[in-house]
Structure 1
Amino acid sequence: MIFSSINAGEKICPGYGYILLPENCTSTCSKENDTCSPDLKCCFRVEEPCGYHCIVPKDNEPKPGICPVSLSSAQYMKWYLCDGHECDVDNDCKRADKCCYNACGMPLCIAPKYFRRELT
């Protein structure tokens, strides 16, 4: 199982959700001991050649708002989708949507919640 965590400002490897890993993968770097140049990151690739390789990571520049803690399936059809993977970072999502984890822990593009500041 390969997945990406979503942390603000961190360089993120592309995620693939739940996948059957290809056989006979070869790696040119190690995730535990990343020896890639500063502009690259050691990430798993499903595409040929599969394995861990130094690639250009995704920038995670967070969009405004926060991810909802829970939604009903009436509010968002994919809230209980357990085999989806739509995004790795907010910029993968269209418009104002953010990359958020749903009830099954899958990263999906979801409309964020906003809070109004009280004026004093």
Structure 2
Amino acid sequence: CLTPGVAEKPGACPAAVPEGLFYPCAFACLEDRDCLGAQKCCPLPCGPACLEPVPDKPGECPRVRPRPEPCVEEEEGDSCAHDRDCPRQEKCCFSGCAMR
């Protein structure tokens, strides 16, 4: 028997390919559970590969309920996708309408 793996591991893929990284032009992974340890399956120019993740910023986002339509913020779209998109120690959190 195998222990079920977690498809999505914590952390985020690096925003840029780490300097000096050699990677094969092949599909090394399809999802995070295909990678060893804490590594994540990250998109690269030649296909996905297992890379060390960028750690999430400390803290947790507040729990919010989705706001009823119409949602003005939603029209502007998400201003972030990951914590790394936010300055300093700010986190990327769902505002009820969009990611802020």
Structure with greater proportional strand content: 1
Structure with greater proportional helix content: 2
Give the structure-1-normalised TM-score: 0.42
